[in-house]
Amino acid sequence: GAGVSQSPSNKVTEKGKDVELRCDPISGHTALYWYRQSLGQGLEFLIYFQGNSAPDKSGLPSDRFSAERTGGSVSTLTIQRTQQEDSAVYLCASSLTSGGHNEQFFGPGTRLTVL
Amino acid sequence: AQSVTQLDSQVPVFEEAPVELRCNYSSSVSVYLFWYVQYPNQGLQLLLKYLSGSTLVKGINGFEAEFNKSQTSFHLRKPSVHISDTAEYFCAVSDRWNNFNKFYFGSGTKLNVKP
pLDDT at B3 (0 to 100): 86
pLDDT at B13 (0 to 100): 96
Residue A42: which of B41, B90, B99 has the nearest Cβ? B90
Q: Is A25 near chain B, with CB under 8 Å?
A: no
By C-alpha distance, the chain A residue nearest B93 is A100
Cα torsion A113, A114, B5, B6: sign: positive
By C-alpha distance, the chain B residue nearest A9 is B41
Chain A neighbors of B42, CB-CB under 8 A:
108
pLDDT at B16 (0 to 100): 97
pLDDT at A69 (0 to 100): 94
A72 touches B74 (CB < 8 A) = no
| Partner residues linked to B64 by β-bridges | B58, B77
Closest CA to A44 of A34, A35, A31: A35
Give the DSSP H or E segment for A12: strand A10-13
What is the tens place of the pLDDT at every residue in B57-72? 999 999 999 999 889 9
Q: Is A88 near chain B, with CB under 8 Å?
A: no
pLDDT at B101 (0 to 100): 63
The DSSP string of B25-48 is ES--TTEEEEEEEE-TTS-EEEEE
B63 touches B77 (CB < 8 A) = yes
Chain A neighbors of B34, CB-CB under 8 A:
103
What is the tens place of the pLDDT at every residue in A24-57? 999 999 999 999 998 777 788 899 888 888 877 8
How far is residue B100 CA from its own chain's centroid?
A: 22
pLDDT at B14 (0 to 100): 97
pLDDT at B28 (0 to 100): 63
Phi, psi of B62 (to 5 degrees): 80, 5
CA distance B18 to chain A (A): 25
Residue B111, SS3 per DSSP: strand
pLDDT at B2 (0 to 100): 77
- Window from A10-14, A85-89, B28-32, B66-70 with minimum mean pLDDT: B28-32
Residue of higher predicted confidence among A5 and B97: A5
Stretch A67-78: mean pLDDT: 92
Residue pairs spanning A and B at CB distance below 8 A: 67
A113 CB contacts (<8 Å, ≥6 apart)? A10, A11, A12, A13, A87
Q: What is the rounded distance in angstroms from the CA atom of residue A61 to the CA atom of residue B90?
A: 22
8 Å CB contact of B96 and A42: no
Give the CB-side neighbour count of residue A27, counting CA atoms within 13 A: 2
pLDDT at B41 (0 to 100): 78
- Window from A76-80, A97-101, B103-107, B110-114 with minimum mean pLDDT: A97-101
Report the helix count and the strand count for chain B, using DSSP H and E: 0, 12
DSSP conformational letter for B55: S
By C-alpha distance, the chain B residue nearest A57 is B98
Phi, psi of B72 (to 5 degrees): 45, 55
Q: Which residue positions in chain B have pLDDT lower than 70?
A: 28, 96-101
pLDDT at B95 (0 to 100): 73
pLDDT at A1 (0 to 100): 54
8 Å CB contact of B107 and A91: no
Residues recorded for chain B: 115
